[in-house]
Amino acid sequence: MNLALRFAARSDVGLVRADNQDSGYAGPDLLAVADGMGGHAGGDIASTLAIRSLVPLDGHQHVPDGALTELEQAIEAAKQAIVDRSEAEPQLAGMGTTVTAILRAGNQLVMAHLGDSRAYLLRDDELTQVTTDHTFVQHLVDTGRIAPEDAEHHPQRNVVMRVLGDFEVDLTPDLSVREARPGDRWLLCSDGLSGFVTPDMIAQILISVVDPGECADTLIQLALRAGSTDNVTAIVADVVDLDADTEHPVEGAVPHPADALADEPLPTSPEVVGSASRDDLVPGTAALGTEDGTETEGAPGVNDDPEADEAAAALAAEPGKGKARRRALGATITLVLVLAILGGGYAAYGWTQNQYFVGESEGKVAVFQGVPQNIGPLHLSSPVELTDTAVDSLPSYVQDRLSDTIPATSLSDARTRAAQVATDGTTPEPTTTPTPTLTPATPATTAPPSTPTTTTPPTKPTIKTTHGPATKGEGK
């Protein structure tokens, strides 16, 4: 077999934080996620230094025996880079980052892991978490002091015990070698995703969304819709056999969903997301994956579709709106999948009517019930309350945010966010205290309401989860 990776990397700053301290890299031979320590200055620098220390491993032929040593040495170089930077700039003392990396070596994958970012493997529609969270709560689970179901709500769930940083303690990464099989799908993610999207839902999306880029977009949108308070980064990669004959499959073989992409060329340019895509964090170097330091927010196109090229040109001509449009696309994909997963019909519609967001209606800042999408003639949202603030009186960047819509966790949270946008153009952390003065809006014509229900997907994947979940917060 001649194996290769079809990959995509995505990252989002999230709903609360002002900057992105995650970094991600996906290339033909290397996948890596680094989550900078949010409670310390320099988390973005630490994650950037980690990724940039690993990048030289990409684009080379590796053999399994030597690859594990090379990966370990690259992680040690990353630690030294963090120490050197901290010594040069004492105000950065205490910075650190998680690291989860996979290096392809022929038909095998070598992995290094430190922290609570995660690697998942989807094989034969069965999802397995292959990394162990290096957290205090996970230690309590492993020693039998608490049950796995208690880990999510434990008061010390955010305490990470092993990270890459400028600390004197020598903390070595978990190292392993794994077989690469055609049809395998890998997900590397920061805990801004795994702490808010359940393993069941992760498995459903990995199974149902064929394109790695669309899959990563969808997972990030689900994390944001779930109220993730952290940066969110996802790398999705499929193991493909370049020698496979997709036109004449073996008789009786079950086709894999990724076979639909068999005729598409594999990506050759690496994708860099998050802090590592910036050129101002490490002076004297351009951002990774670019020639001029321009941030790489997602995958370059892997096809030659003229319409796609035209759309990309339009986004380049309007950089201020490009991110909003990409998010809108991701939300559309998310919605269609969630509707399918929930079983469609009125049950799915009922779910959408428990969602709220802030947007524009009749030229004013408004609170909406539902989700900001339409499916054919069906409108899945309607304005329920209007403020007195005209959208055209707000700064342009605020207007862009309203055009993109601002998610909320509840009706009261949406009211608070609408009032805050109207006041100073910011969106506060979720709150349950309604503060704005609002007037009812004329309801839009939508599908008939129904009582929200929850249905079970027709085919639920088998989940192997041997480790308790970790949730990121102020402590990290």
| Structural domain contains residue 337 | no
User: What is the 3 state secondary structure string of the chain?
Assistant: CCEEEEEEEEEECCCCCCCCCEEEEECCCEEEEEEECCCCCCHHHHHHHHHHHHHHHCCCCCCHHHHHHHHHHHHHHHHHHHHHHHHHCHHHCCCEECEEEEEEECCEEEEEEECCCEEEEEECCEEEECCCCCEHHHHHHHCCCCCHHHHCCCCCCCCECCCEECCCCCCCCEEEEEECCCCCEEEEECHHHHCCCCHHHHHHHHHHCCCHHHHHHHHHHHHHHCCCCCCEEEEEEEEEECCCCCCCCCCCCCCCHHHHHCCCCCCCCCEEEEHHHCCCCCCCCCCCCCCCCCCCCCCCCCCCCHHHHHHHHHHHHCHHHHHHHHHHHHHHHHHHHHHHHHCCHHHHHHHHCCCEEEEEECCEEEEEEEEEEEECCEEEEEEEEEEEEEHHHCCHHHHHHHHHCEEECCHHHHHHHHHHHHHHCCCCCCCCCCCCCCEECCCCCCCCCCCCCCCCCCCCCEEECCCCCCCCCCCC
Say whether both 279 and 414 belong to one domain.
Answer: no
Say whether both 142 and 237 belong to one domain.
Answer: yes
Task: Count CB atoms within 10 A of the CB of residue 204.
Answer: 23
| Structural domain contains residue 448 | no
| Structural domain contains residue 312 | no
pTM above 0.85, yes or no: no
Domain count within the chain: 2
User: In this predicted structure, what is the pLDDT of residue 187?
Assistant: 98
Which CATH number fits the domain that encloses residue 169?
A: 3.60.40.10
| Structural domain contains residue 473 | no
Rounded Cα distance between 139 and 161, Å, is 9
State the residue range of the domain holding 419: 345-440
Say whether both 274 and 368 belong to one domain.
Answer: no
| Structural domain contains residue 315 | no
User: In this predicted structure, what is the pLDDT of residue 149?
Assistant: 74
Rounded Cα distance between 37 and 42, Å, is 8
List of the chain residues with pLDDT < 70: 38-41, 152-158, 168-170, 245-260, 262-263, 280-353, 373-379, 424-476
Say whether both 240 and 386 belong to one domain.
Answer: no
Say whether both 137 and 236 belong to one domain.
Answer: yes
Say whether both 212 and 355 belong to one domain.
Answer: no
User: In this predicted structure, what is the pLDDT of residue 465?
Assistant: 41
Say whether both 236 and 355 belong to one domain.
Answer: no
Say whether both 20 and 126 belong to one domain.
Answer: yes
| Structural domain contains residue 310 | no
Say whether both 231 and 365 belong to one domain.
Answer: no
| Structural domain contains residue 472 | no
User: In this predicted structure, what is the pLDDT of residue 382?
Assistant: 85
Say whether both 262 and 369 belong to one domain.
Answer: no
User: In this predicted structure, what is the pLDDT of residue 405?
Assistant: 85
Say whether both 259 and 350 belong to one domain.
Answer: no
| Structural domain contains residue 100 | yes
How far is Cα of residue 418 from the mean position of the Cα atoms in its chain? 26
HSE-CB of 437 using CA atoms within 13 angstroms = 2
Say whether both 282 and 356 belong to one domain.
Answer: no
